A and B are shown apart, each in its own frame.
Chain A
């Protein structure tokens, strides 16, 4: 088993209104089989033993699906490995002696709470604006009454795979939430269940995205490059079409 030594530069910030700064830590004897978050666990255990405050970072499932982990690692949201959330990134992707800079997702819409933890509740509010089919429990017809072509269902699933982590926002020079918002609008625009409300949905979700302080999309495609679930910017194109439809059709 390979073991490596690292220098970490970690963003430390006591609270939302406190200034933050990068603090250096030396770590030795890190197994390359560790996950990135396990490496941070090791750092925190050492800090606790020294009587220092551990680094706070969000995480939960540690299998790449809950979307709670974040981190900008050496300038890249979720780090250097493509299609991989931070929790599934492993230390074999780093070299012995490397310096790793770890920062929070940065965006006006994601204020820092502490250290590497940010507030992503804006995403919940974007969904609240219309990211659903307005139906109550109990009234649904038999599931096979709504046939949907396999290709359409698959494309809707590609969009629905979004884990809501916010890497798209962190990577975007405009801090736009377009990929996140588009993924939901696109999923429900593709499926017949979403059609009755498609206009209202596109208008309301886009308006909420703006109200939360996220920027507009100017086709940099950085979001697609860092998305751990490979969500395509074609969904943003579909969102734009859906939005235009609300303006130009009755």
Chain B
């Protein structure tokens, strides 16, 4: 395997424009001769499928939910960044580029990030033209707000439902192409294998989730937009159906997996309330603008928060980081919450929570002002916890939120398998070791609307792609692999449910491959994960059969893949002997306890090649060069 990012050698401002000119075009009359499979209908998948169909390609678009509109992009709250500089506060493409590279703690590619910043403005234009109801000022122009990691207001938003509105915009374009006959939607289908012919991605094998039938689909190229893998931790802010299976099956067919250990833990989520917990809900990070984070000074203090006097409270973020206080970046806030809970000073029934207190803000600004700012969030909090945050402090705790790692792609978004393109959260390319708020939506739509439509044409015209059909031996073999796996899962008939094993995996990952990692912990994870995987394959119990809607069978296949991915994540985290962004190794910190990068030895993308079941994966390094952004150490004291 050879990693070639294929970044043209031009000044960074010119790379994308010159590259677009150099990419070969497909004659309009020929576009309709090409079939393209798009897996996933989130921001990246839906925007790609619609845009490619508009160009004339024939698209088959797959999703696991009952409708393309359900994809988890819909849950994004805060907003989408763009370098419009509408507020006249000094923003520019250059500044968005700079902030994103810095925010990613210098572990992303400069050229990719620059391109992302360049197309960010087109995304806003596109979405407004579709009828996305962004927030507006009284004069009728678009409103902006500020968001973490930036000193300018560049975030566009639609209340707290920006992801929903952007996704419905892309979905509407997609539905238009369905009506025009250029896209065919395959809902309630799960991709279970990638089909390679002559080493190129030429199709997929899916399970029809309603009747259990295995189906084959061919194409000239396959576009994967299947999201992130946060559910490897069992509990995360991801949707229940979010999974790594499509990516992982591609990895096992030859696609390198890059930086799997880069995961983002969001500091302000509603804490776990019991063993039955099925998912975690994010509370917008904007709450930290007015809320003060604290825990009791005393260990095991079970008094109600109102009974704990001021001088027995520890406002630990304000104490440790006097200049940034409660507004330190996500990773710093998360880690410190963990430390105080590890010390036994956590609050609530589980002791795994800290207070986010609005009492001072209400006293200072009045209840009305707080209600105007955060009313809907306070309501949501009360709906879930039964507590009223106007009267008692919120309890919050960090939760897994986003995965920066993913399948390795070159500048054209093509993986190490020719003809397999990977978009959105499923790829690794733009966020480095930490993603800034409001940048996920930007990247998903950039990839789908404005990058893949150009780069895929170049591939299609440059390659020999003889006609094949689904009777080809490669399809039969892929289907046989799927069949065998399903049969094997159903034959085990053990004692533990899929959920029980998934929960155990989540605990291992959270304890040892979570927000604070050590060599010993990671080595422990590398012992525990294979044991749990063995147990899964000997002792899992899946009810009913394969010829029917069977969610447990679906989840079993996904957990089986998570059990393999988990090991790769631990291995990657162990290899990366530095702290950067969301990856914090306790051995590598400054005297003040802050993340310490090692640019000399680890300024590279770690791309892992699958070498066979039970074999150690092979590490390939793509060196990262920084010609335009100056590397600095972050400090928030």
Contacts and interface: CB of A to CB of B under 8 A. Distances in A.
Interface of A: 1, 14-15, 31-35, 37-38, 41-42, 44-45, 47-49, 51-54, 56, 58-68, 81, 84, 88, 90, 92, 113-114, 117, 119-121, 123-124, 127-129, 131-144, 146-150, 153-154, 156-157, 160-161, 163-164, 187-188, 191, 193-194
Given A41-B278, A148-B140, A131 B175 contact: yes
Q: For A34, A51, A63, which residue has the most chain B Cβ atoms within 10 angstroms?
A: A63
B544 A187 contact: no
A143 B165 contact: no
Interface in B114-139: 122, 124-139
Nearest to A188: B131
Contact of B130 (A37, A124, A133, A157): A133
B74 interface: yes
Contacts of A58: 66
Contact of A132 (B176, B499, B544, B548): B176
A62 B497 contact: no
A48 B128 contact: no
A66 B133 contact: no
A193 B54 contact: no
Contact of B168 (A35, A68, A160, A193): A160
B274 A34 contact: yes
A143 B541 CA distance: 54
Contacts of A60: 65, 70, 72, 239-241
Contacts of A47: 543
A51 B543 contact: yes
A157 B168 CA distance: 12
Contact of A193 (B129, B187, B386): B129
Closest 4 CB pairs of A and B: A147-B140, A132-B172, A140-B129, A140-B125
Contacts of A147: 139-141
A64 B279 CA distance: 12
Nearest to B445: A137
Contacts of A148: 136, 140
Contact of B131 (A48, A138, A150, A193): A193
A108 B333 CA distance: 51
B552 interface: yes
Nearest to A159: B133
B564 to A, nearest CB: 23
B383 A62 contact: no
B499 A194 contact: no
A61 B126 contact: no
B543 A48 contact: yes
A150 B66 contact: no
Given A61-B239, A62-B278, A128 B541 contact: no
B84 interface: yes
Contacts of B74: 61, 65-66
Contacts of B449: 137-138
A33 B386 contact: yes
A164 B159 CA distance: 18
A54 B551 contact: yes
B276 A128 contact: no
A64 B383 CA distance: 11
Given A49-B497, A62-B239, A127 B386 contact: no
B185 interface: yes
A154 to B, nearest CB: 8
A26 to B, nearest CB: 17
A56 to B, nearest CB: 5
A234 B178 CA distance: 30
B7 interface: no
Given A137-B54, A137-B453, A164-B67, A191 B131 contact: yes
Contacts of A193: 128-131
Contacts of B541: 48-49
Interface string B217-240: 000000000000000000000011
Interface in B22-75: 47, 50-51, 54, 65-72, 74-75
Contact of B543 (A53, A63, A150): A53
Given A41-B278, A58-B66, A144-B86, 6 more contacts: A33-B386, A63-B281, A66-B71, A124-B69, A136-B51, A150-B137
A66 to B, nearest CB: 5
Contact of A48 (B125, B129, B133, B497): B497
A95 to B, nearest CB: 15
A15 B278 CA distance: 27
Nearest to A147: B140
Given A53-B544, A54-B551, A114-B549, A59 B386 contact: no
Contacts of A64: 380
A213 B383 CA distance: 35
B161 A161 contact: yes
Contacts, number: 221
Contacts of A88: 380, 383-384
Q: For B66, B274, B449, which residue has the most chain A Cβ atoms within 10 angstroms?
A: B66
B386 A90 contact: yes
B277 interface: yes
A150 B137 CA distance: 6
Contacts of B552: 44, 48, 54
B388 interface: no
A61 B134 contact: no
Q: For B51, B129, B178, which residue has the most chain A Cβ atoms within 10 angstroms?
A: B129
Interface string B375-416: 000001001111000000000000000000000000000000
B159 A68 contact: no
A15 B550 CA distance: 12
B610 to A, nearest CB: 29
A52 B543 contact: yes
A38 B279 CA distance: 9
Contacts of A113: 210, 549
A92 B383 CA distance: 10
Contacts of A114: 548-549
Contacts of A135: 129-130, 173
Contacts of A187: 131, 133
Contacts of B158: 157, 160
A128 B178 contact: yes
B549 A54 contact: no
Nearest to B159: A157
A92 B386 contact: yes
Nearest to B349: A1
A124 B129 contact: no
A33 B175 contact: no
A33 B141 CA distance: 43
Contacts of B450: 137-138
Q: For A44, A58, A61, which residue has the most chain B Cβ atoms within 10 angstroms?
A: A61
A149 B450 CA distance: 29
B176 A128 contact: yes
27 contacts: A33-B274, A33-B386, A35-B384, A38-B276, A52-B543, A56-B549, A56-B551, A58-B66, A59-B240, A61-B72, A62-B239, A68-B66, A68-B70, A88-B380, A88-B383, A113-B210, A124-B187, A132-B130, A137-B450, A141-B129, A143-B125, A148-B140, A149-B138, A153-B135, A160-B133, A161-B159, A163-B164
B75 A61 contact: yes
Contacts of B133: 153-154, 156-157, 160, 187, 191
Nearest to A64: B380
B543 A66 contact: no
Contacts of A188: 131
Given A90-B383, A92-B386, A38 B140 contact: no
